[in-house]
Chain A
Amino acid sequence: MSTSRPSREGQTALEFLAMMVFLMILFTGTYSVLGERQTAAVERQVDLQAAAVADRIGYELDLALTQGEGYSREFELRETIGGSSYNVTVQNGTVALEWAESMTFASTAVRGIDGNVTPGRNELYNTGEEIEVTG
């Protein structure tokens, strides 16, 4: 009576299992490293978007301040940052932009404003005493 067939089937199964384990380890490792790098890169892009918006707000406020009383300008800001809504505060020469659970800052010579800078369309008006913002 021959006993070779059952031995071959057993060996094949073992080798298949070994190959699957090897592939799973390989793919898990690769995806984890790549996934981490991509996440970091996307986060960096979102941070840059936020910083660009904060810089823009600082610039528009500075421009309004230097142009003096009667200056008025409309400008548009992006609606979201990284897909999340955001809010802006201007206080003591700092533009603080908060989104998701992150924050970025830009500087401005404007100490405080009347109104709030919001995503989308904003209008600045220099009254001579302060900068009014309507969004």
Chain B
Amino acid sequence: MRAGQMFTSDLVASMVIFLTVLNLGFFAIQQSVTGQSQFNEQKRMSQQAYQTGDLLVRTPGYPADWNRSTVRIVGLASEDQVLNNTKLSELRLIDDYTAQREALGVLPSEIVINVSRNGSTVEVPGQNGAGGLGDGAVAVLAGGGDAVADHAFIDALNSSEVTWDLYWSSSEEGGLDALTARSVYDHTTDRAAMADDMFGNLSDVDYRTVLAEDAGVTVDDVAAEGELSSFIEEGGTLVHGGPDPAFIRDLFDLGPTSSGETSGFVRETGPVLNEGLEEGDALEFASAPMAFDGADAVYVNGTTEPGCLVCRWSIGAGQVFYVADTHMSGGGQSVFTDGTAAFSGDMRLVFGSPVPDDATQVAVSSRSVIVNSVDGLQRARLRVIVWR
């Protein structure tokens, strides 16, 4: 029996062409609808960024004398149109990043707010414990073979009113009971357990600052290195003192580095330096494992070799400090601050979580503001960036 004449080669070819064109048409319609949806999403985030910026810069917030506990609407304006430094400090002191987002009314989006001038983040005098090395509770990681009394960080905090916890792994056990620490996590000689405990607590405990002195922590020890990076980027402070600075070099990609020299001079005073040191003073460190280039702020430079021995990097909304050694050669005065003035120094005006490279939606709102900065009254730019 001969076949019918429906499925000819002409028909098959025309069906293939027709279906291809039809599918392309459907695909184009689908893309258009998806694009419209993304446009509306972007528009909503732009509206959110604009409204947040407006409330921050044009209003004093609610109640007008709000603080970190009473805030219902965050506003930073004062009567003379200058951003209120007390309220900037209180914004920094709001419990954590999620609470900040809730107070700013941007949940579930992420946010970063910065105030800058000529490309540099503006700094203002911190108040009520904001600024300097941070505020809130401090976590101290201490190891090596030194006794409690030989750790400059512990010495400074023990006579302060700052809330602090100690994570201990030194081989010397004595003196732990006499400390003013809120909690002591004793992991004598077990450096890895100390690091695990501390970094595991980062997201659960109210720490703002981590001080690591002779902790001997390496990148391999840090089981929760993602937690530490997030902690810094969202406004935390890390101060690394003493040996094994390769930890911060590798974790935060700092450098380049060179061998440190023990002789240095004070280029600029800063929150980690002893209050008795002044610009130009010569220092002789007990040791200097490494010197860094490319830091954002240099407090102590090597005398003959380039590279900083006490320096700071800004990472996201937070900061990382390096102190080659907290002790001077021959003992005597500590390199590190001996008081808690360090915990309420200047405050960088950046809040929130920086925008990652893989953010899918970003909306920016920018305002001209007047700020009473560490350099006096200045006009600056406040940017609100809402992202997902």
Contacts and interface: CB of A to CB of B under 8 A. Distances in A.
Contact of A38 (B2, B3, B30, B43): B30
Contacts of A59: 51, 54-55
Interface of A: 4, 7-16, 19, 26, 30, 34, 37-38, 41-42, 44-45, 48-49, 51-52, 55-56, 58-59, 62-63, 65-68, 107, 109
Which 5 A-B pairs have CB atoms at the shortest separation, nearest pair first? A12-B4, A11-B4, A66-B59, A15-B6, A109-B72
B126 interface: no
A9 B1 CA distance: 11
B252 interface: no
A4 B1 CA distance: 7
B29 interface: yes
Contacts of B105: 58, 62, 107
B159 interface: no
Interface of A is mostly: helix
A45 B36 contact: yes
B55 A63 contact: yes
A34 B27 CA distance: 9
Given A30-B26, A58-B105, A65-B73, A13 B37 contact: no
* Most interface-central of A9, A26, A38, A42 (chain B CB within 10 A): A38
A33 to B, nearest CB: 9
A41 B33 CA distance: 7
* Most interface-central of B6, B36, B55 (chain A CB within 10 A): B6
Nearest to B102: A107
A62 B73 contact: yes
B44 A26 contact: no
B19 interface: yes
Nearest to A111: B72
Contacts of A19: 6-7, 11
Interface residues of B, number: 37
A48 B47 contact: no
Interface in B1-33: 1-7, 11, 19, 22-23, 26, 29-30, 33
B47 A66 contact: no
* Most interface-central of A51, A59, A107 (chain B CB within 10 A): A59
Given A12-B4, A34-B29, A66-B59, A48 B36 contact: no
Nearest to B55: A62
B48 A55 contact: yes
Contacts, number: 95
Nearest to B33: A41
A41 B29 contact: no
Interface in B156-211: none
B26 A12 contact: no
Interface string B60-76: 11101000000011010
Contacts of A45: 36-37, 40
A56 B47 contact: yes
B41 interface: yes
B3 A34 contact: no
Contacts of A49: 40
A13 B7 CA distance: 11
Contacts of B34: 41
Nearest to A9: B4
Given A48-B44, A52-B47, A13 B26 contact: no
A41 B44 contact: no
A51 B108 CA distance: 13
B1 A38 contact: no
Given A8-B4, A55-B47, A63 B54 contact: yes
* Most interface-central of A16, A41, A56, A67 (chain B CB within 10 A): A41
Contact of B37 (A14, A44, A67, A109): A44
A37 B47 CA distance: 27
Contacts of A13: 4
Contacts of A62: 55, 59, 62, 73, 105
